[in-house]
Amino acid sequence: MRLPKGAPELMMSPQGVEQGVLRPELVKFRDDKYNIWTDELKHKRAQITGNKMTSVSHLI
C-alpha cells in the first residue's frame, strides 16, 4: 500500500465554505438511485451506542 506524499492540505477536501454539507438535491438523487432513505438511516444510527472503553494498562 502506498501512502500519499505532500503537505496535509493536499489530502483534505477542496471545499471552501460549509465543509461537510451536502446539497439536498444530491442526497435525494442518491437516495432515489440506490433506493435508500437517508433520514431513516440517520434515525437508526442515532440509536447506536459506542463500546465501553476498557483499560489496557495491565497489558503494558
- Determine if the pTM surpasses 0.75: no
Q: Do the domain assignments include residue 33?
A: yes
Q: How many structural domains are present in the chain?
A: 1
Tell me, what's the pLDDT at 53? 67
> What is the separation, in whole angstroms, between the first and last Cα of the chain?
29
Please, what's the b/e burial string for 19-32 (b: 16 or more CB within 10 A of its CB; e: otherwise)?
A: eeeeeeeeeeeeee
Q: Do the domain assignments include residue 6?
A: no
Q: Do the domain assignments include residue 37?
A: yes
- Structure-model confidence comparison of residues 28 and 57, the more confident one: 28
Q: Do the domain assignments include residue 15?
A: no
- Structure-model confidence comparison of residues 29 and 44, the more confident one: 29
Q: Do the domain assignments include residue 35?
A: yes
Query: How sure is the predictor about 58, in pLDDT bands with cuts at 50, 70 and 90?
Result: low
Tell me, what's the pLDDT at 32? 96
Q: Give the domain range for residue 41.
A: 22-46
Q: Do the domain assignments include residue 13?
A: no
Q: pLDDT per residue over 8-26, tens digit each?
A: 665 555 666 666 678 899 9
